[in-house]
Amino acid sequence: MTVTSLLVLNIIIPSENDNMNHGGNFDGNINTGRVKEEVDTDDATMGNGSSVIDDSGGDIAISSSQYKSVNTTESNRTSGGETELIPPAQSFAFDHNDLAIFEKHKCFPVMDLCTSGTDWFYRKKNSETLAFQSSFIVRHGMKKLPFETKVNNSFFYNTDLQNKPNDPGCTKSSTSNHIVLHGTFNFMIMESFLREVVGVWEIWNSLATPWWKQAFTSEHTQFYTITPGKDCHAHDKVETTVLSSMHPLMAGFTSNPVENYLDLSNEGVGCQCFDRLIFCGFSDADEDDAIKRKIKKLPEIKKNSTTKRLQPGGEVGLRNKGGVLGEPTMGWNKLRRHIHQGARSLYSNVTRKVATFKQDAIIKSFDLLNASYSHSDITNRLDQWTVIGFNQRGTRRRWLNLDEVMKRCRDNWLVQHNVVCVEINLDGSFGSDPENQVIMYSGLDALVGVHGSQNVHGIWMPDGAYTLEILPHLLGPWGDWTQSTKEPTMNGFMYKNTKINHVGYALNITGVPNCTDWKHLQKCNDGVRWDNRDFLVPLEMIDSFVQEFLLLPSGSATTTLPRQCREYDELAHSREFVLYNVNCIQDGTNNNRTVVQNQYYRQRQTFSHIEHR
């Protein structure tokens, strides 16, 4: 159907080319110590447990069928013998005061808008909302995918189409609020989190209406992100990966999965109308052009006062000092808790599933070691086990000697120190499932992985957990943002001043396969850029990390009180680590429970194992 030549939305997409059960039927009655459902409290955490993903038949693999949740609409759920209180869904529509807040955060609200295939138009002329019924053009920032939404405010469904031969039969969405998000590099989940999810948090904290603080299960807000799909970008499975991972991250704001804005223009969807469609993460193109022309001292161009032109911006919402990497309102810890609670309202029995993962991972490790164990001892003392997750990938950026790390872990740490190591691979169908991601990372006491978007899932880890970020060795200047030791990398800002400990280690040239001499970098590994190259990790470094930070006499890393700050600083320097964030006991305090967050950054030149050129 073509409504009018003035209303066109063009989409051009160029072509480019055994279910293991060792006592896993968890009955909810085992004593896990610290595993407990906590909802809407300042100290709420995801439960402790283990998580294992390995679609390629690696060390430990657990079938998803055993753990998949059953959706429920009950206001109370039972989890591990305890009651999980879930606030009831609430009907809510943003009013004019709320929309004014959105505008202050550089969002663009539109009222009574309809789309039918490639055509966009207003449902009816409404004098009360006329201020939000401009003619406008929205463009997005995806290269290789020219796309824009064009709407003229002189054409209305009720007067120009309804009950006429070309009536598309528009239906009104039952969802009150529709919000389109845009952030730079939103084909990567870490970027989407920092630029979009955190931005929504900032807007939500500015709203006067308190409904969102309770209504985690609300279905009255639908979020969209502009995702190109695998045919429009060099990275495969972009749309599926980002959208699925966004679901639990956004669960604190809505129970609806995040959808792709481009799908609204699919001919097969039919005609839909929206009470409110809000574009966030965009800027006024005319204002931007005027600023650029002023800087370049070019003459002004008369602005078209009848049409609003929007173009993609870098991130959603206004940010505090530090921009997209700055600390959000109320801090990263508060945001973490909000996201945790949202995920617990989305998925049922999270604590039980996490505990089952941990139990099965431990027993599977004993089986691989061919060692004896007591099933009851494991299930009754889950809190005394430390679970370390190692991020692995199926294609690029593979950890080539991870099998050696896993074997070393079983041989040296499993029986003697109650440490179990698990491989986490999100590339397969099991690992890409968002619920499985929440359960897996919620069960880790420590996470080890090379710099990359996969590390965003460390946000699900419990308080007191460790994340070791491995900084890749560069063969050229590209990728310098992965090398920072004077402040956190982009992966690590979300841990700053939180209860998660963030440690970094920079690989030297030995981490690059087939490369032993930095003077011949052009020939090393065919000169492949770091993000498309596999890597090697020194086994002795993993030994040092585990021995110095995780082998604790009184329990797991997340159940034992930390040491003094000075001790951590000395350990890090002697073992060539950087401490981006550490929870430690204040030096000189009499009260050994006075825990603070400190950062011990280092100049790159202070690392003796790195060859400085």
- Which one, of 317, 275, 269, lies nearest residue 104 by Cα? 317
Note the pLDDT of residue 530: 79
How far apart (Å, rounded) are the C-alpha atoms in residues 532 and 513?
12
Note the pLDDT of residue 45: 38
- Which one, of 398, 443, 451, 450, lies nearest residue 421 by Cα? 443
Of the pLDDT bands very low, low, confident and very high (cuts 50, 70, 90), residue 90 is very low
How far apart (Å, rounded) are the C-alpha atoms in residues 122 and 156?
5
Of the pLDDT bands very low, low, confident and very high (cuts 50, 70, 90), residue 196 is very high
- On average, the pLDDT of the chain sits at 75
Using an 8 Å Cβ cutoff, are 579 and 549 in contact?
A: no
Integer CA distances (angstroms), 181 to 100, 208, 317, 455, in order: 17, 21, 10, 22
How far apart (Å, rounded) are the C-alpha atoms in residues 373 and 470?
33
* Range in 216-230, 558-572, 576-590 with the lowest mean pLDDT: 216-230
- On the question of pLDDT at 73 being above 50, the answer is no
More reliable by pLDDT, 585 or 529:
585
Q: What percentage of the chain exceeds 90 in pLDDT?
A: 28
- Token representation of residue 119: 């055509």
Burial of 229-249, coded b for 16+ CB within 10 Å and e otherwise, reads: bbebbeeeebbebbbbbbbbb
Note the pLDDT of residue 580: 95
- Token representation of residue 547: 């021995």
Domain positions in the chain are 106-317, 348-606
Average pLDDT in the 378-396 region? 89
Note the pLDDT of residue 532: 78
The total of other beta-carbon atoms located within 10 Å of residue 190's CB is 19
Phi, psi angle pair for 142, to nearest 5°: -80, 120
Average pLDDT in the 242-255 region? 87
- On the question of pLDDT at 404 being above 80, the answer is yes
pLDDT digits (tens, 9 = 90+) for 284-333: 777 766 666 666 666 766 665 667 778 888 889 888 776 777 788 888 98
How far apart (Å, rounded) are the C-alpha atoms in residues 436 and 21?
17
Note the pLDDT of residue 212: 52
pTM, two decimal places: 0.79
- On the question of pLDDT at 13 being above 50, the answer is no
How far apart (Å, rounded) are the C-alpha atoms in residues 491 and 171?
43
Query: Identity (one letter) of the amino acid at 304?
Result: N
- Token representation of residue 111: 């009222």
pLDDT digits (tens, 9 = 90+) for 38-58: 333 333 333 333 333 333 333
Phi-psi category of residue 406: left, alpha or beta, with phi > 0 → left and psi -120 to 50 → alpha = alpha
Q: What percentage of the chain exceeds 70 in pLDDT?
A: 71
- On the question of pLDDT at 24 being above 60, the answer is no
Average pLDDT in the 222-228 region? 83
